[in-house]
Chains A and B, each alone.
Chain A
């Protein structure tokens, strides 16, 4: 199985800060990498697919980058509404696997 290692597991930042979350795959996954946002008690919401493609309706402050085994989710200017857990997800092969999650809070 492909292991997805996310870091940090949690972070606290101020409104307006640039926030970066990283995800490392245990083997190459080409561009089969997505990012989800999950707020408490809610279903995950797809933010980004294919490493850097923004889902329709997702604010442009979210962006994704990376290749091979190392990937990044960036929030260019953190907003109060971005408080949530974020998960990376590989769909290169089965079983599909998720990172352990990153909890983002406002300082």
Chain B
């Protein structure tokens, strides 16, 4: 069955960078896109963008352009989200989800806390 397993919690200082991983199993990795979704504490869901796992082409939501990088390591069926110049407002749970349109499968989420 399809599984998306994300990396663990991270505590970072303002200005630092973080890289969250999303390891896929149970299907052919390059047949489905990986999306990234953010959920700030007590808030709703916010789509950050997606990466074409066949071509490696990322698409970023305009609200997040500039500090995000989506990447892949196809040798280990893993997608990555890197956020640079972290701010306190980046404190959130970051989810990966499989699919280009509907999103039936999600990772468990990775907590990123930004605090001095």
Residues of A whose CB lies within 8 Å of any CB of B are 32, 34, 36, 38, 42-46, 49-50, 55, 87, 89, 91, 94-101
Chain A residues closer than 8 Å to B47, beta-carbon distance: 95-98
- B11 contacts across to A, CB distance below 8 A: none
> Which B residues fall within an 8 A CB radius of A?
35, 37, 44-47, 49, 59, 61-63, 95, 101-109
Give 6 CB contacts A-B under 8 Å.
A43-B108, A49-B104, A89-B45, A91-B102, A99-B44, A100-B44
Partner of A95, one of B62, B102, B103, B105: B62
List residues of chain B with CB within 8 A of the CB of A87.
Answer: 44-45
Q: How far is the CB of A101 from chain B (nearest CB, A)?
A: 5
B109 CB to nearest A CB, Å:
5
B109–A43 CB distance below 8 A: yes
B62/A46 in contact, CB under 8 A: no
